[in-house]
């Protein structure tokens, strides 16, 4: 199978972090977890050969953004073993959510945040993470107002372990508050879910980075029309979409190139 693409994914500034990311990033929950996930069909975790093929396709298309998390099962460890040329990738991981024995639990204390970051570094076999997001349990405002989690991430950034910090939010109020305390927000946006548009507009005004999750409504939305809608919004840095099938990934990349119009 050829990995040649006629056009590469354009890159955009991730707010004022100094990072540039491809407009489409690879979500990797399916690399390490197939329990408790909201997708139309069940799936088997890909083997190492398949993961390498997917990563090679990403590189060939100019994709440099990879999204993972401790809550994604073995995703971080697999990426650490299979990802090559670390300097070519922008790696985003998370803190706060753990997934063990089929159940999520959350810990936003300073000690856990620091241990989680250090564990992600070991698993990913790197000495820095480009971006770390708070993996919200849904009570965004309470997490941010307590301050402990953000302050711990700020200390990790000061220590050079993390280049930028942010929050994967679940509420509009939480997204707006996160903009006041962090560099990047990750929000849900697709044609069927548009309540975060004020967050994106505010992020654009403040030169903060915006990552989009659930762009395809967890597999229920049309790829091209969804991406066209999202890329029309000023301030969007990148869309995160997961894929473990090369043909599916290729279709998503080509749709993103068309939908972004090279901008």
CATH number of the CATH domain containing 171: 3.20.20.100
Question: What residues contact 158, with CB distance under 8 A and at least 6 apart?
Answer: none
Looking at the structure of the chain, the number of domains it has is 1
Strand stretches in 56-148, DSSP E:
65-67, 90-95, 97-100, 103-106, 129-135
Tens digits of residue pLDDT in 222-244: 899 999 999 999 999 999 999 99
Catalytic residues: 72
- Assigned domain for 9 exists: no
Cα Dmax for the chain: 51
Q: What is the pLDDT of residue 154?
A: 98
What are residue 225's phi and psi, to 5 degrees?
-65, -35
Residue 184 lies in a domain: yes
Task: Answer whether residue 176 is part of any domain.
Answer: yes
Q: pLDDT band for position 143 (50/70/90)? A: very high
Report pLDDT digits (tens) over 15-63. 999 999 999 999 999 999 888 777 667 778 999 999 999 999 999 999 9
Q: Determine contact, residues 185/199, Cβ cutoff 8 Å.
A: yes
Residue 2 has pLDDT above 50, yes or no: no
Tell the burial category of 62 from Cβ atoms under 10 Å away from its Cβ (0-12, 13-18, 19+): middle
- Assess if residue 8 is contained within a domain: no
């Amino acid at each position: 199978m050829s990995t040649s693409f006629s056009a590469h994914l354009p890159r955009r500034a991730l707010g004022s972090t100094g990072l540039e990311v491809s407009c489409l990033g690879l979500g990797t929950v399916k690399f390490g977890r197939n329990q408790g996930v909201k997708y139309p069909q069940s799936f088997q975790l890909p083997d190492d050969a398949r993961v390498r093929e997917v990563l090679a396709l990403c590189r060939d298309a100019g994709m440099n953004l990879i999204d993972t998390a401790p809550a994604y099962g073995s995703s971080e460890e697999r990426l650490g073993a299979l990802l090559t040329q670390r300097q070519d990738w922008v790696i985003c991981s998370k803190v706060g959510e753990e997934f063990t024995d089929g159940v999520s639990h959350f810990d936003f204390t300073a000690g856990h945040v620091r241990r989680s970051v250090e564990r992600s570094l070991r698993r990913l076999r790197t000495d820095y993470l480009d971006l770390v997001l708070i993996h919200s349990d849904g009570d965004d405002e309470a997490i941010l107002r307590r301050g402990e989690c953000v302050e711990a991430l700020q200390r990790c950034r000061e220590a050079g372990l993390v280049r930028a910090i942010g929050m994967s939010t679940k509420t509009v109020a939480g997204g707006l508050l996160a903009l006041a305390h962090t560099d990047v927000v990750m929000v849900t946006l697709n044609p069927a879910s548009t309540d975060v548009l004020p967050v994106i507009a505010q992020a654009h005004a403040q030169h903060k980075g915006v990552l989009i999750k659930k762009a395809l409504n967890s597999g229920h939305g049309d790829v091209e029309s969804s991406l066209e809608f999202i890329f029309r919004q000023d301030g969007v840095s990148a869309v995160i979409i997961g894929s473990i099938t090369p043909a599916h990934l290729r279709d998503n990349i080509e749709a993103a190139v068309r939908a972004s119009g090279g901008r």
